[in-house]
Amino acid sequence: MRNIDAKDITNVVKRLCIEANYYLPEDIKKKLKAALESEESEIGKDILSKIIENFNIAFNEDMPICQDTGMACIFVEIGQDVHINGSIDKAINEGVRQGYEAGYLRKSVVGDPIKRINTKDNTPAVIYYDIVDGDKMKITVAPKGFGSENMSKLKMLKPADGIDGVKEFVLQAVKEAGPNPCPPIVVGVGIGGTFDKAALLAKKALLRSTDIRNPDAYYAELEDELLDSINKLNIGPQGFGGKTTALAVNIETFPTHIAGLPVAVNINCHVTRHVSEVI
């Protein structure tokens, strides 16, 4: 059994909240630069160049890439041989509180969805736990802005709808989103499980590097097909037209019931933020 102090978790979460909001992942940077080279729309090129300039300024000046610094979504993989000295929930939320304060990050969380009084420290975080083998802990911080989060869709398809139904639903979700999620976007798709599992799969899909395709060749091909179809919608950078609507489509799947075919779509804006650390 390996002991991990709650204070160490707080310190890691604090740092990751700042890093995730300041520094764009390298795969997204690479995709945006490639998009600038291939985009045919002049206004699309201009917007992409400004997006690139923006993330370079954020990196060099240590400041948020976007004013919407998101609701803190925290994914924790805990080794079954790990013991936490203290409350892990409290440790994570304290890390979020400290990180959003120290990083001058916008506090966007309201304590009640109807009464809507700001908690003033961006807590509580949305936390997901997975128990895995080993004696280590992996923490991933993925701030989620709501310009893109509000474009999420979930549908309980019938098994008879099949793959054509899945494709139609994903494309319709992106069409309806239009310019709202600040394209070029990354599209997370969850297929299978239950109502709630499909949504979680879609969100977890956004944590995968856009350089890594689904390990199942069938779904890897589907990712490429959907990306091609989405980029033919002519939504383009920031919705002004062009061939760069999405940078990637990531699909995650899970077994499901014989009577169901749940499908969820979770969209990230061009500021697709996530950073991980292993303790």
Render pLDDT for 43-72 as a digit per residue (tens, 0 to 9): 999 999 999 999 999 999 999 999 999 999
Boundary of a domain, candidates 92, 111, 144: 144
**46 is a domain residue:** no
- Output DSSP code: residue 86: S
User: What's residue 217's pLDDT?
Assistant: 98
Contact, 227 vs 24, CB < 8 A? no
Give the residues of the chain that fall short of pLDDT 50. Answer: none
Spell out the residues 6+ positions from residue 118 whose beta carbon is closer than 8 angstroms to its own.
107, 108, 109, 110, 111
CATH number for the domain harbouring residue 132: 3.30.360
- Which of 144, 176, 200 marks a domain boundary? 144
What is the tally of structural domains in the chain?
2
Q: What are phi and psi of 9, to 5 degrees?
A: -65, -45
Dihedral angle computed from the Cα positions of residues 101, 102, 106 and 111, in that order, rounded to the nearest 10 degrees: -20
The pLDDT assigned to 174 comes to 98
Q: What residue numbers bound the domain in which 88 lies?
A: 2-20+65-144
Among 235, 17, 248, 252, CA closest to 139: 17
